[in-house]
Amino acid sequence: MTLGVIGKKLGMTQVFDEQGLAIPVTVIKVDPIVVTQVKTVKTDGYDAIQVGTISAKEKHLTKAQIGHFKKNKLENFRYLQEFRIDNPQDYQVGQAIEVSVLDKIEKVDVTGISIGKGFQGTVKRWNFSRGPMAHGSKNHREPGSIGAGTTPSRVIKGKRMAGNMGNERVTVTKLKLVKIDAENSLILIKGSVPGPEGKLVTIKPSRTKWN
């Protein structure tokens, strides 16, 4: 139930701390996000604010989105997202939220879409052991049995099998916020974050139960 920011992952580099130790960091470019809608328990059943980022042309939006922005006298945004908060009454439509909301925050949770790796077999996707590599073996990287016969006469749901790997919503928690460069709207976070370079990620203060 906290407010965060949305940024674009630029890549990784390293910085040096006061002791001269190299710290691997991910660099995230954070553009100001604009409040596009305020939701409360009375109007929508829950407390939240909707924010938009990255300007867009009308041809890239639906009629519903265009009408939503015109109704609130806002410019068009390509991406919309909600943040569940406890005090939506403190925000107004059109208000800009800067990276400064993360000041004095030590740990953050970063959410993004992981890098897609396409259709993969069980060895790569689930770390299955392979079969014998001898000449006579007919099972090098096959999955093996996927269930019993007559009973239960079906494959159990959730069976780990070959399929699409990656391209999933992933949240990495309790990452150290190394530095905020407000002048250049950059955030440096220790370690790696989900997703390829150039994609958007959501950064929020780490939740209490994970601390």
Same domain, 56 and 82: yes
Mean pLDDT score across all residues of the chain: 92
16 and 112: one domain? yes
State both tokens at 76: 């068009």
**How far apart are alpha carbons 97 and 5 in whole angstroms?**
8
* Residue 64 or 31, more confident: 64
How far apart are the C-alpha atoms of 29 and 31, rounded to whole Å? 7
Same domain, yes or no, for 173 and 107? yes
**pLDDT tens profile 88-126:** 989 999 999 988 889 889 999 999 999 999 999 999 999
Which structural domain range is residue 102 located in?
5-117+168-210
Are 9 and 80 members of one domain?
yes
Q: Do residues 90 and 188 both lie within one domain?
A: yes
SS (H, E, C) 29-97: EECCEEEEEEECHHHHCCCEEEEEEEECCHHHCCHHHHHHHHHCCCCCEEEEEEEECCCHHHCCCCCEE
Do 107 and 183 share a domain, yes or no?
A: yes
Give per-residue pLDDT as tens, 155-180.
Answer: 999 999 999 999 999 999 999 999 99
pLDDT, position 31 = 84
Q: Examine the domain organization and report whether 92 and 183 are in the same domain.
A: yes
Same domain for 74 and 142, yes or no, is no
Please give the model's pTM, rounded to 2 decimal places. 0.86
What is the reported pLDDT for 100? Answer: 86
Indicate the residue among 165, 180, 198 that finishes a domain. 165
Note whether 144 and 45 are same-domain residues: no
Q: Write out pLDDT tens, residues 72-81.
A: 999 999 999 9
pLDDT tens-place string over residues 7-57: 999 999 999 998 999 999 999 999 889 999 999 999 999 999 999 999 999
Number of domain units in the chain? 2
Last residue of a domain, one of 165, 182, 197: 165
Do 92 and 187 share a structural domain? Answer: yes
Cβ neighbors of 25 (< 8 A, separation 6 or more) are: 12, 13, 14, 15, 178, 179, 188, 189, 190, 191
Do residue 106 and residue 49 come from a single domain?
yes
* CATH number reported for the structural domain that contains residue 33 in this entry: 2.40.30.10
CA distances from 22 to 13, 55, 89, 108 (A): 10, 36, 43, 20
Claim to verify: residue 92 and residue 181 sit in the same structural domain: yes
